Structure 1
Amino acid sequence: MTTTDRIVRVRLSSVLLPLDTPISDAKVLTGRQKPMTEVALLFAEIDTADGLHGLGFGYSKRAGGRGQYAHAREIAAELLGEDPSDIARLWEKLVWAGASVGRSGLSTQAIAALDIALWDLKARRAGLPLAKLLGAYRDSVRCYNTSGGFLHASLDEVLANATAAVGRGIGGIKIKFGHPDARVDLARVKAVRDKLGEDVPLMVDANQQWDRPTAQRLGRALEEYALTWIEEPLDAYDHAGHAALAASLDTPIATGEMLTSVAEHAELIRAGAADIIQPDAPRIGGITPFLRLAALADHHRLQLAPHFAMEIHLHLAAAYPQEPWVEHFEWLEPLFNERLEIRDGRMIVPDRPGLGLTLSDRVPGWTADSCEFAS
């Protein structure tokens, strides 16, 4: 049966969400970046003639959020009058509307919010959670917390945060690495492992701060802690270096969050640079390209642990054939009325249609600009 429904309205909002505490990882301690004080979000809301509604979002940390919003404003009207079910074709149409600025990075990140809104709308039309629309393999996903382990936090704070997270039912703990003094890194991971014991999955994330010899040396030093993975030990585009580490260490290597297209991830996979791939749907252009990448990753028998945006990635991870992980960050919770349930080390896929999200009444206070296109 064909549908006669059509998109009649697209609304975009540029939202600047303040963080309670300035956030520092290795990129800050080594002078590459300043502490992060806010998350910039691009929200897209799509309405159809039949009264259906879809909500999607993308984000940027530090610079880039306003640029995403500006690009989305230029192309959003291309959706008016279109059948919202034709998501892959609409993704291509939006890409070609801004073809001169490329098919990766900021240009496709601007498309991500629109693409995610279309998938949310499609699942709501079907009356299904997005995970069920895609074809879920499970109704919950292993989850680990990252927000409590940043380098701006003292060791005592990291230990308290980790203990509290496990107490709330979160399954694993990731702490940030890449301190200018490697002895500080090693002391932190030893203390966390000693505190949590051997049974709690533990990961470390160096945020691209090591050179190859340092990564090899510290990777060997970390073997005794039975880590679930070492994340981004090298520059995100050093596929050969990551591949060498993956081949030489017992500890799995995870990377991919900084890549901004399926093509970039394909090069990473081709090089054998990761045991665990960490794509970010808003960064690579939305759910449509994420699904293409997930099929490629599964073909190569890679584990999956999507980066950030648990509100989206929970559904996508639930639809991945192999047992994945999803990353717990509470930062975006003030934006939504709903909360994701966590129990026995796993994040539960909500039974609400679509992503299962509605915007909270606090969002207008953080909205820097908005615009609307209507037919």
Structure 2
Amino acid sequence: MKITGYRTLSTFHQWNRSIGDANGRIPQAVTEVPIVILETDEGLEGVGIGSHCDIARLFPAIEGEDPRAVSSLFDRMLAQVFKSGHGGATYGGIATLDSAIWDLKAKAAGQPLWRLLGGRDRFVPGYASGLDIALSDEELAAFYQGYADRGFVSAKLKGGLDLDADLRRLGIISEVLGARSNNPGLMFDSNESWNLKQAVRYVGALEAHFDLLWVEEPLRRWDAVGHKRLSTAIRAAVATGENLTGIDQFRPFFDLGAMDIVQAGAIWGVTHLHRLALAAAAHDLPVSPVGYNANPAVAAVMTAVPNHLTTEVQDVRFADGLDVDQEIQDGGIVLGDRPGNGIAVDEALIAAALGGDGWANPAGPHMRPARAGLRVLLDGVER
């Protein structure tokens, strides 16, 4: 079997709520979900979700190759762009092709990806994540009640700009999840919006009232020294890594002991996550994937590594035209038996789907505010 071509398309996820974080928000969000479909000479097709970036430049590295050599093909793609570097968005293109290749390999074997990777149990423990900074208190309670009804006992709040509001909202989540557990798990994500001393003071104030499992992306993604200093100053674990593109970028964090929980973005694909999980295991660290949940390839990896902690679940629905063989229930993700990564694409339905500006919205969370990390007071008001 040989890879012969590819095609790209985009669908849209209808969130049916506003989403955002400390960097911005998208009212009643509809966001783009890029898809890559790899074609083969045997008619088998592989599906990858994530990014279209640099696909044309990367494809020659895998064209004409047998997709069953997936790990070697990942390295060929890295080598294809070594002069300009694989960091940033280019890594998203590599990862999306990588996910599609893994889909082909599992389909050729007639196995679900989680089984092919060596998983024993199809259940992947998870936590609820509302991308919820734009929700009212009433909407926040209703959102997490829906997850409590599905068996979830842990959740992650977006915040970092207004201490009083965050204390109130953590209390709401704790009360909702407390119906299912006497000690619900609470995480807090500030999305790189603080400097070091802001993080120490803010987290200390939160910890005076709540026992946080972790604080996520408290500082800039590359600040290994700062993360190490923060970890020694607070009780909560420090979780970061979702925006590091390549195992090499984790090296200073491992060397310094600057991460307590190793995170990987779902958009960075199967091989990245698998290699990162094993690297983290060598340092006795747990791993936790972050990102869009209609990507069962990422959950499949977690069934087959020794140090999975929990996986982020952002929604129970999937984007238009995607039929995903998984269920969100019992406090996690239950993977199905469909061969491959479990994603079936209805291209006709996608062509007729409603679009939106989504992540391109300049007020949204993918645009860093000019004053991030430079506010004198963190009370929700810029001065």
Q: Which category of TM-score, normalised to the shorter sequence, fits these structures? A: 0.7 to 0.9
Tell me whether 1:326 sits opposite 2:311 in the alignment. yes
Residue by residue, what CA displacement relative to the aligned partner does 1:315-342 show, whole Å, maximum 9, x if unpaired?
1111220242111122644341235213
Is the CA contact (8 Å cut-off) linking 1:145 and 1:165 kept in structure 2?
yes
> 1 CA distance for matches of 2:172 and 2:71?
48
Instruction: Identify the residue that residue 372 of structure 1 maps to in structure 2.
Output: none
| CA pair 309-194 structure 1, distance change in 2 beyond 3 A | closer
TM-score (norm. length: structure 2): 0.83
| Cα distance in 1 between the residues matched to 2:144 and 2:17 | 17
Deviation at 1:343, TM superposition (A): 3.0
Per the alignment, residue 26 of structure 1 pairs with 22
- Given that 2:13 and 2:319 are in contact with CA atoms closer than 8 Å, whether structure 1 keeps it comes out as no
Q: Which amino acid aligns with 2:350?
A: V
1:152 aligns with 2:166: no
Does residue 273 of structure 1 match 2:258? yes
Q: Tell me which residue corresponds to 1:91.
A: 74
Q: 1:218 offset after TM fit, Å?
A: 2.3
Percent sequence identity is 31
Q: In the alignment, what sits opposite 1:317?
A: 302
**Higher fraction of helix:** 1
**Does residue 344 of structure 1 match 2:326?**
no
**Which has the higher mean CA deviation after the structures are superposed, 291-300 or 338-347?**
338-347
Q: Secondary structure of the residue that 2:148 maps to in structure 1?
A: helix
Change (3 A) 1:153 1:245: same
Q: Distance between the aligned counterparts of 1:107 and 1:229, measured in 2?
A: 29
Q: 1:41 aligns with which of 30, 33, 39?
A: 33
Cα offset, 1:101, TM superposition: 2.5
Q: Deviations over 1:126-154 (max 9, x none)?
A: 1222111111153212111112x511111
What is the deviation of 1:55? 0.9
Give structure 2 stretches of 5+ with no counterpart.
Answer: 356-383
SS at match of 1:9: strand
TM-score by length of 1: 0.84
Q: CA RMSD in A?
A: 2.4
2:3 matched to which residue of 1? 7
Check the 8 A contact 1:112/1:281 in 2, yes or no.
no
1:12 and 1:73 in contact (8 A); partners too: no
Counterparts of 1:40-189 in structure 2, within 5 Å, are 40-59=32-51, 68=53, 71-147=54-130, 150-179=132-161, 181-189=162-170
- Does residue 200 in structure 1 map to residue 187 in structure 2? no
Cα offset for 1:307? 0.8
Offset of 1:94 from its aligned partner? 2.5
Indicate yes or no: 2:340 matched with 1:354.
yes
Question: What SS is found at the alignment partner of 2:193?
Answer: coil
The verdict on how the C-alpha distance between 1:137 and 1:201 changes in structure 2, with shifts beyond 3 A counting, is farther
**In the TM superposition, what is the alpha-carbon distance from 1:113 to its structure 2 partner?**
1.3
| Post-superposition CA distance 1:180-236 (Å, at most 9, x none) | x22211221123223432432221111111222221122223334222211112222
1:42 aligned partner, one-letter code? P
- Residue type at the aligned position of 2:260: D
* Partner SS for 1:99: coil
In 1, the alpha carbon distance for the partners of 2:100 and 2:221 equals 29
Q: How many residues align?
A: 347
Change (3 A) 1:210 1:35: farther
1:22 to partner: Cα distance: 4.3
Structure 1 gap segments, 5+ residues each: 60-64, 369-375
In the other structure, the counterpart of 1:215 is 199
Q: Amino acid of the residue matched to residue 21 of structure 2?
A: D
Asked if the contact 1:220–1:249 (Cα under 8 Å) also holds between the matched residues in 2, the reply is: yes
Cα 1:339–1:122 shift into 2, 3 Å: closer
Residue equivalent to 1:373: none
Check the 8 A contact 1:42/1:113 in 2, yes or no: no
CA deviation after TM superposition for structure 1 residue 41, in Å: 3.3
